[in-house]
Structure 1
Amino acid sequence: MADPIVDELRRLAGPELYRRNAFLISGLRADADARTTRQVAQRLRAALEVGADIDLGTATSRDPHEVQAACDLILGDPRRRLVHEMFAPWGDDVSRCGCESLMHRMHDSAVAAHSATISQEQDGGRPDEEWKAVWQIWSLFLADATSHLESRVRELDDRQLDRAAVATIETELPRTLVQPLVDLAVTGPVSRAGTLVDIAGRFPNAERLHRRLLEAAAAPLYEDLEERRTQVARRIGEEAVDPLVAEIERDLLPQLRRLDALLPAKDNHRTSALHDQLAILLNNCAVELMNRGDAGDGRAERWLDRAAKLVIDQRDRDLITENREALLENQRAMREFREQVEYLFRMRGKYAAQRLLRQARAQTSSPSVRAEIDQMLAEISAGTFNSFYSPSPQTTRPARPPRKPVSTKRRRRRRLVAWLLVLALIGLGVWHWWPQKISIAHDKISDNAPAGTCLDEQPAGPQTGLRGSDCDSPHWGEIIGYVAITKVPATYPGDDQANALGQFLCGEKMVQQRLNDDVYDVTTLHAPAQRWNNGRNASKYENYAACVVHRQDGLDLYSGVTPVAELKDPKPVAMDLQAEKVADNAPVGTCVRDRINGQVTDGALIDQVMIVRCTEWHWGQIFGYPTLYEAGQSFPGDSEVNDLSRRACAARIPSLPGFATWVGPPDYPSWKDLKQVKYAICVVHRADNKPFKGAAK
């Protein structure tokens, strides 16, 4: 059976707490006896019967019927009356209750301040200090309210009232005091909600109570927001997305902000879930816009940014981040594609541009990419084509009904497919049609211009700006591939060795592609030491060199030279052992295929030697090029030079049973150039001069 005291306290609880108080409505004092109350009620009835005006005195209501109802409540159930007494002025007369005068004054101050502060809040004020005073006064009063309530039970002298009624009031009273704040937080300005929630938690015995009240009061907000979210989710893909986003921003997000203030996401799973659900709505709207080919004005990016600020779940955050990255990547790719089409349009005319676009359109099933191509075709036909571009990639969003969690690997693959669709358009013959900015120095080989790309002119270095060229037009060189100089990670081998390894490996690639070394030469380019991935720095460089083939005579090439397929087997490369610079020699660690004896005249090798990988049959292995004399040294004589050369090689080569060392001192012509550093050549071979495979050991 319901308790009348609890029922009445909960009926009164809310911002109308004092406006519903029977004593305040009727103007009667809280200790008014039954006789006084009946007199007021009789006077009201008489006036109502004859239609006369009546002075209602201090009553807060001017409605005689409401005043009559208040009097009836006071004369009725004493338990309900006692509840109303708690929120009516007690006055200074303590003769009947025996209370301290201070306690009455404290109670009346709490009632007056509470009522006034609620009114200020409802009128749009920000009475933070007043609220502080209210909860402090109530806290002080409730510490010693029991004696007064017990005296009132004795004075009312009704069998329905006992000490249990006092205990019930004291138990339920904190809820009644806090409920106005909860209701104001739920229905008032969102900007005040968080402050009111904080104040509610400070009321006496309300540390946990106010959270339960907030959850109950917010339940309709949750239900409404969840239903609205479901409705919007169903409409994505069927309606224009701009009105849907406007609805989300106008109706759903303000409601979520209120829930954030009432029950923050960090403390409430329901609020947290709504954060993720609304973030996914914005994500899906952005994706829908992109897939329709209409994301060039920044709307999709703004929606994804807003979604990223809302989302909490890491998996959903990853999806939103992934889509935003896909958007930006595809914007860059499609912008470049459009610029290249525009360049082709200017250089070759509209028919060449249309041919490329139609070919590209046939190669993709992406609605967004096709939409962009159709837009360019329409502009070309209308004569309004220019290089301004608004990209819209194919990206991913959770399917309807709400998606199941997708693994990071799977989501990454779906984004990558969208990116490759755009890259495929750029690679669709575009590399061979006109100059474009390219790179051969990215950290990853796969990010560079591919083999078969032609270069307009000779690069000054791998870091310099390069431009591609139509391979059917005059051009300086062509990329024939990329070669790994060292493992990853590995210590930088030094400039000389890195250059030598690049020359050998790129030379091998040129031979594998059956290019005539009497006509062609190869230039290698690699990153400097500071970019080398040595495992101790932050570099992601793949420790490679780019191989660019060109004519030896410096004349232009007029067609591509790279065959359809290259041979993969190791091939011998003709290289120097006595070049002016060590960097131009065969690299240390490679092997000399044929025996050198008979190829030396006046201390100089008469020709290049064939260099192979040491896994192939060979005569000797190059162990080094030790420096003998710095630049500026005059010729000291054969005896000294030969002796120093042998000693330098002996110091470099360990004792290898069954092996001997071929030592090549600096050749005579080199002594004529005082600027040249003089070095020896150290090659280890079998003592019987027979060929072998593998490293000498």
Structure 2
Amino acid sequence: MKESPARFADLAGLRLYRRNIFAVTGLSVDARGPAVRRHRQRLDARLAVEETWRGDADSPVPGGHRKEEVRLAFEEFQDPRRRLVDELLWYWRDADLGCGCSPSTHERHDDAVRAHSRAIEAETGALPPPGGGDAAWHWGAAASRWAALLENTDLRGHLAHRMTALADPRLDDYSPDDFLAGVPGLLLSPFAELADDRAARPRLAEVSAGWAQYPVFAGPLPDVFEDTVEESVDRLKDALRTAGERHEAGQHADALAALEQRVLPAYADFESLTRFVSESRSEEMAHTVTVALNNVALGICEAGLQKPFQRSLIEVMETASRIAPQRDQAQIDQNLTAVRHGRPGAGPNRMKPRECLTCLFVLATIIGGIVGGVTVGPALAVPLVFGGIFVVGMVAQ
């Protein structure tokens, strides 16, 4: 999309509407030439004696815009590529744009902008959501209205007309699709900032699921959370690396401290993002953490140091059991039981002497049953096998 992505990046996030050049300057979307210059001169004079300017009547910025913000907005206005992006994300109202759109298309566009702007302000503002309804309602309304609008062929025709009307050579290499392609990601961009708040993630996941129902948003939605997820994964990997290095060096107490103070909090942060992560990746991270918890706990047990750390070891292994993927569950639960019972030799692929004896006894019983069945007959073999199994059970107890 050539130059236009730069503007999408500038607007992205919770300040999407607060940075809009029409919101800041108060210009209408059909403003051109002399009208723009006269308006700028009036604002320059006004801001020479006043600290702020209110901006458009629907500007969501409390307290208005400062001189530097207004100056920058007028500079952005001079680039038709940037102006068109801001036009798409601001109110068209009853401006005579000569685009030939159905009046209902303009009304639906403004309704979509209004719902989206109110959803953002409901998330960030100190006041209740404007216009009634909670933030989730406004998010849902914005999703449905923008999805319908982006599928409306009138919107592409509208943009094609605006590109012709602006008659700027800098637009010659562009098509309406070059601009429309970036709109879904821009509308979703506030979610990336909201995801930084762990407490908001469960509710945000529900809101995002509503947007994902629409094909136009389902594709770009995972990319919105990519940076947040990757940062969380990087923190978790660093914590695991620290715990692993201490474990390998035989620094058992330090390794356990790294699990409790770094790995578990980092994994809790990652867990809060799992609804934005593929199932396979979520399972692989759970497996990696499970193995780390298990190995450090068993290392302490095998070193005979479990007594002063017993409570912590049990908590670590209980966490491992809770998060373990199905492939790890049986082994982890076995090791958890061993740690709870304070067995210092507990660990994967290790058995106590009694367990070895039991295995040998089982094998001898099976062999004896087979031999008896061949030489004497089933009448002797069956009691021998079942009697042996009973004795095995007594030994295991």
Return the TM-score normalized by structure 2: 0.78
Could you tell me which of 336, 348, 361 is aligned with 1:324? 336
What residue in structure 1 maps to residue 139 of structure 2? 131
Matched, 1:223 2:174: no
Higher CA-based Rg: 1
What residue in structure 2 maps to residue 394 of structure 1? 345
Task: Between 36-45 and 185-194, report the one with greater CA deviation.
Answer: 185-194
Q: Which residue identity lines up with residue 174 of structure 1 in the other structure? A: P
Q: Quick one: distance in 1 between partners of 2:110 and 2:125?
A: 23
Q: Which residue identity lines up with residue 242 of structure 2 in the other structure? A: Q
Mapped contact 1:28–1:37 kept (Cα < 8 A): yes
For structure 1, which runs of at least 5 residues remain unmatched after alignment?
Answer: 332-390, 397-410, 425-442, 448-481, 492-497, 502-531, 547-697
What residue in structure 2 maps to residue 245 of structure 1? 259
What residue in structure 2 maps to residue 46 of structure 1? 45
Q: Residues 86-115 of structure 1, C-alpha deviation per residue, up to 9 Å, x if partnerless?
A: 111101234632322211111111111101
Shift of 1:68: 1.8
The 3 A distance-change label for structure 1 pair 95 and 19 is closer
Matched, 1:159 2:172: no
Mapped contact 1:276–1:311 kept (Cα < 8 A): yes
Alignment of 1:108-507 (within 5 A): 108-122=110-124, 127-142=135-150, 143=152, 144-162=154-172, 164-187=174-197, 189-236=200-247, 237-238=250-251, 239-240=253-254, 243-248=257-262, 251-264=265-278, 266=279, 268-269=280-281, 271-290=282-301, 291-294=304-307, 297-312=310-325, 314=327, 316-327=328-339, 331=341, 391-396=342-347, 411-412=348-349, 414=350, 416=351, 419-420=352-353, 446=361, 487=369
The 3 A distance-change label for structure 1 pair 164 and 301 is same
Please report the RMSD computed on the Cα atoms of aligned residues, expressed in angstroms: 3.8
Q: Residues 442-500 of structure 1, C-alpha deviation per residue, up to 9 Å, x if partnerless?
A: x98959xxxxxxxxxxxxxxxxxxxxxxxxxxxxxxxxxx999x726989xxxxxx9xx
Q: Which residue identity lines up with residue 293 of structure 1 in the other structure? A: Q
Q: Which residue identity lines up with residue 420 of structure 1 in the other structure? A: P
What residue in structure 1 maps to residue 101 of structure 2? 99
Shift of 1:140: 1.6
Q: Quick one: distance in 2 between partners of 1:483 and 1:310?
A: 39
Q: Which residue identity lines up with residue 75 of structure 2 in the other structure? A: D
Q: Residues 289-348 of structure 1, C-alpha deviation per residue, up to 9 Å, x if partnerless?
A: 43313178544333222212222272x4454234234335xx3xxxxxxxxxxxxxxxxx
Shift of 1:540: 6.0
Q: Which residue identity lines up with residue 69 of structure 2 in the other structure? A: E
Q: Quick one: distance in 2 between partners of 1:21 and 1:489?
A: 88
The 3 A distance-change label for structure 1 pair 73 and 483 is closer
Q: Quick one: distance in 2 between partners of 1:227 and 1:543?
A: 50
What residue in structure 1 maps to residue 33 of structure 2? 34
- Which structure carries more helix by proportion? 2
Return the TM-score normalized by structure 1: 0.47
What residue in structure 2 maps to residue 62 of structure 1? 65
Mapped contact 1:304–1:320 kept (Cα < 8 A): yes
The 3 A distance-change label for structure 1 pair 306 and 3 is same
Same amino acid, percent of matched pairs: 23
Mapped contact 1:182–1:196 kept (Cα < 8 A): no
The 3 A distance-change label for structure 1 pair 533 and 184 is farther
Q: Quick one: distance in 1 between partners of 2:214 and 2:196?
A: 18
Mapped contact 1:174–1:204 kept (Cα < 8 A): no
Matched, 1:71 2:74: yes
Mapped contact 2:13–2:190 kept (Cα < 8 A): yes
The 3 A distance-change label for structure 1 pair 483 and 152 is closer
Mapped contact 1:114–1:134 kept (Cα < 8 A): yes
Mapped contact 1:94–1:101 kept (Cα < 8 A): no
Mapped contact 1:79–1:160 kept (Cα < 8 A): yes
Q: Quick one: distance in 2 between partners of 1:54 and 1:116?
A: 23
Mapped contact 2:51–2:67 kept (Cα < 8 A): no
Q: Quick one: distance in 2 between partners of 1:204 and 1:97?
A: 27
The 3 A distance-change label for structure 1 pair 540 and 130 is farther
The 3 A distance-change label for structure 1 pair 184 and 324 is same
Shift of 1:423: 10
The 3 A distance-change label for structure 1 pair 22 and 279 is same
Shift of 1:162: 4.3
Shift of 1:203: 4.3
Q: Which residue identity lines up with residue 70 of structure 1 in the other structure? A: A
For structure 2, which runs of at least 5 residues remain unmatched after alignment?
Answer: 374-378, 393-397
The 3 A distance-change label for structure 1 pair 127 and 95 is closer
Q: Quick one: distance in 1 between partners of 2:309 and 2:18?
A: 57
The 3 A distance-change label for structure 1 pair 258 and 540 is farther
Mapped contact 2:28–2:92 kept (Cα < 8 A): yes
Mapped contact 1:256–1:275 kept (Cα < 8 A): no
Q: Which residue identity lines up with residue 179 of structure 1 in the other structure? A: S
Q: Quick one: distance in 1 between partners of 2:211 and 2:390?
A: 67
Answer 1 or 2: higher relative contact order, Cα 8 Å, separation at least 6. 2
Q: Which residue identity lines up with residue 136 of structure 1 in the other structure? A: S
Q: Residues 478-532 of structure 1, C-alpha deviation per residue, up to 9 Å, x if partnerless?
A: xxxx999x726989xxxxxx9xx9xxxxxxxxxxxxxxxxxxxxxxxxxxxxxx9
Q: Which residue identity lines up with residue 388 of structure 2 in the other structure? A: E
Alignment of 1:674-693 (within 5 A): none
- Which structure carries more strand by proportion? 1
Q: Which residue identity lines up with residue 108 of structure 2 in the other structure? A: M
Q: Which residue identity lines up with residue 7 of structure 1 in the other structure? A: A
Mapped contact 2:55–2:65 kept (Cα < 8 A): no
Q: Quick one: distance in 2 between partners of 1:296 and 1:134?
A: 53
Q: Quick one: distance in 2 between partners of 1:218 and 1:255?
A: 9
SS in 2 for 1:301: helix
What residue in structure 2 maps to residue 10 of structure 1? 9
The 3 A distance-change label for structure 1 pair 168 and 64 is same
